[in-house]
Structure formats: C-alpha cells, structure tokens
Amino acid sequence: MMRMRVTLSLPGEPSSVTRARQVLVTLLGLTDATEDARGHLALLITEACANAVRHGDTHSAVDITIRIDDDVCLLEVGNRGSTPDGGVLTAGLPAPLTVGGRGLPLIAALADTVAFVPGPSDQVLIRITKHLTAAVAG
C-alpha cells in the first residue's frame, strides 16, 4: 500500500505549470504507474494548471493537491476565477468545441473522472482522477 499527498500553492504565472508537472513526475517515479498513466497525468496537470493560470483572477495563486492512494492518482487544481459554462464537465464537452481551447476536452479524454467541485468560497476547483496501473481482470 502506498499513500502520498502533496499540497502546493504556486503563483499564478506560467512557470508554475512546469513546477507542478515536475513535482507530479517525481512522485510518479516512486510508484508502479504505467508509462501511459505517467504521460497522461503529466498532460492532465499541465492543462489544468495552464487553465488555472490563464483563467484565474489576476495575481491569484494556483492551489494544487496531488494524492496517490495505491493505484489511483487524484489531482485537484484550484484558483480564484469562474468555471466555464457553469462548472459542468463531462466527456462530451464542451458543446460546441469552440468554447475555449483544447484544455478541457483533452482533460476529459485522458482522465478516468473529472469534475468541477465545490471548493473554498470564490475558488474554482477541478478534480481529476486517473488509475496508475492497468485494470486487473477479476
């Protein structure tokens, strides 16, 4: 059984995206995560953090939680700002795909689960989960 949790509060600037990805990649190096899962998670945190920096209120911090419990990685990325389209995120979104850029559709495609969730007041919080290993047939 392996459990890790890291919480970061980074400045709302582009260099924070790289820092968050580096921390995640380092943590994943301590796990049995597949190469696909590692690559997907690197893209997921990059897109979520880039969105938080791009769409967050000016001078707002980007708050990140990385939690690894056995074979599941949970990422939470929060900032001060507003959710797109009222905060609904599903695999078929956004409709049409002209809303924003590639970030949310890419996140929806690569994550096992993803949703905007209630966070501290005035904070937008996206929660992403991804399995680290291939599912074992039972």
CA distance 65 to 77: 7
pLDDT by residue for the chain (138 residues), tens only, comes to 889 999 999 999 999 999 999 999 999 999 999 999 999 999 999 999 998 998 888 788 999 999 999 999 999 999 887 665 555 454 444 444 444 567 788 888 899 999 888 777 777 889 999 999 875 444
Q: Give the Cα separation of 44 and 38 in Å (integer).
A: 10
End-to-end CA distance of the chain: 19
Domain 3-131 has CATH 3.30.565.10: yes
The domain locations on the chain are 3-131
Alpha-carbon gap, residue 88 to 137, rounded angstroms: 32
Locate all alpha helices (DSSP H) within 1-138, ordered by sequence.
15-28, 35-55, 103-110
Which residue, 22, 57, 51, 59, is CA-closest to 128? 51
What percentage of the chain has pLDDT greater than the value 70? 82
**How many whole angstroms separate alpha carbon 54 and alpha carbon 118?**
20
